[in-house]
Structure 1
Amino acid sequence: MVNSLHAVFHAIANVQNEQEFRLALTDKISDHFGVQNWGIYLLDEQPTAEIDVPGIPAVCLESNPVGRYVVERHAPAHEQLLLSPGDWKHFCSRHDHEHVMTGPIVCDGRLIGTLNLARDKGNPPFNGNDLADLSALCIHLSAKMATLRAQPKISNSLLVSPLTTRELEIAELVAQGLTNAEIGERLWITQNSVKQALKRMFRKLKVSARAEMVAKLQDIQVSSRIIL
């Protein structure tokens, strides 16, 4: 366990920009915590409709007690820390959110995002060791995010695309051949949110089709590497 957590820390340390976070941690988070679903949510990427309580994305239903705990205390929590066994299902009916754990990403004293983990039905609930590991992980994420955001803004002109981190994540799933419904399931957002995001992405890239979008992003990425 210790080695796998160190591997996560090492991956975070090597991230060069916000776009790389999810790709760098994809397998490591799942392997260490034994989760089937997880996501990093940065608040400045979320449209207003995706916000549940002030300052946190809606991971499940409204009045998410785990999310509220994180917002109020900037500390990680899982559902059994706050609720009696089984009570979580009163707040969330999704089959892939049988057990949830959420931690804060903090920068300059404010919550800028969350790291959300979920286990499917039939898996054990999160425990104190999981919570301690998530707390350590969030410290590293917060410190790295603060470092990235403190870098000169000139570097932003050399980012691989005009898309946000969330839009790039959607584009990656489009490139893998996922449908809007499958992308929404993977990212814990509605199918309509995916549809609206794709419309924005098409406008930004001046394209009209999914395949055209993927091809243009690949061209931009190659050109950016040459410039760098």
Structure 2
Amino acid sequence: MDQSLPELFAAIATATDEPHLRSRLMDRANDTFGVQRWGLYLLDKAGQLASVDVVGVSDAFVERYQQIGRSVDPLLQYVLSHHAPIHEALIWPNGGWRQSELYQRCCAEYDHAHIMTGPIVGQGQLVGTIHFARVGQAPLFNGQDLASLGALCSHVSARLAELRALEHVASNPWRSRLTSRERQIADLVARGLTNAAIGQELWITQNSVKQALKRMFRKLEVRSRTEMVTKLQIY
């Protein structure tokens, strides 16, 4: 493992809020992955683009990618469907990348010789993506690069979920009455999961979920799952 990767993990784990997390990732990505262009896209709860951080490309590129590139980007489609990282050689073997519509319409101007994309996930949904590009005669991304990006995405996903949960707690005093496990259960209730499904998701028994909900109802002074979700403002 690249020695800078554990340092990047540590920086992510100690980020104090979402902007701090974004800054730490953007400041260190090139040293760890040997890239010349990189970006971080994060989505809001509605699945809309909430923030974009990029290095090495212009705002015009970001706008062009949003308007044209996303619809012709098979790497993004793979990440959306598999929640796993991928690089261009797995999609276009034998140099086909430079003949692709994505390269011709978005990436040729910036000499993106090789690209790699990874997922940021939360509660089973894609909540962002990390994008890396190497230019000129830089080497291909390989299996080790994919493994490292997968590990990075896991760390970013976990810390982002923690920070967003803390922000939600701070904005709603009722959530502060619950333990972290109880907040997990509440979020799954809001998604419509049954007690059995919640138990499977969290690796606990159905009875444990039932007893936890009883405690949560008392703490929140509610009598139903619907009242609980409304009081906690989970949308």
Q: By the TM > 0.5 criterion, same fold?
A: yes
Output the amino acid matched with 2:49. Q
Change (3 A) 1:107 1:59: farther
Q: In structure 2, what is the equivalent of residue 70 of structure 1? A: 79
Question: 1:130 aligns to what?
Answer: 145
Question: What amino acid is the match of 1:20?
Answer: H
Q: Counterpart of 1:23?
A: 23
The 5 A counterparts of 1:151-190 are: 151-153=166-168, 155=170
Q: Which residue of 1 aligns with 2:49?
A: 46
Task: Check whether the contact 1:75–1:135 (CA below 8 A) recurs between aligned residues.
Answer: yes
- The percent identity for this pair of structures is 44
Partner-residue secondary structure (3-state), 1:92: helix
Identify the residue that residue 120 of structure 1 maps to in structure 2. 135
Are 2:26 and 2:39, in contact at CA under 8 Å, matched by a contact in 1? no
Indicate the RMSD between aligned Cα atoms, in angstroms.
Answer: 2.6
Cα deviation for residue 21 of structure 1 reads 2.2
2:192 corresponding residue in structure 1: none
Q: Which amino acid letter does the alignment assign opposite residue 112 of structure 1?
A: V
CA pair 107-85 structure 1, distance change in 2 beyond 3 A: same
Give the total of aligned pairs: 152
Query: 1:183 matched to which residue of 2?
Result: none
TM-score normalised over the length of structure 2: 0.58
Residue type of the alignment partner of 2:33: F
TM-score, reference length from structure 1: 0.60
Equivalent residue number for residue 33 of structure 1: 33
- 2:116 matched residue in structure 1: 101
* Aligned-pair CA distance for 1:61: 5.8
Correspondence for 1:142 among 139, 154, 157 = 157
Distance 1:119-1:10 versus aligned 2 partners, 3 A rule: same
Assess, with a 3 A threshold, how the Cα gap between structure 1 residues 38 and 154 changes in structure 2: closer, same or farther.
Answer: same
1:137 aligned partner, one-letter code: L
SS at match of 1:106: strand
Structure ID, larger Rg: 2
Deviation at 1:149, TM superposition (A): 1.4
CA contact (8 A) 1:7 1:28 kept: no
Report how far residue 58 of structure 1 moved: 6.7
State the secondary structure of the residue aligned to 1:2: coil
Match of 2:92 among 83, 89, 106: 83
In the superposition, relative to structure 1, how do residues 153 and 61 fare at CA in structure 2: closer, same or farther (>3 Å)? closer
Secondary structure in 2 aligned to 1:98?
A: strand
Report the Cα distance in structure 2 between the residues aligned to 1:133 and 1:140, rounded to whole angstroms: 11
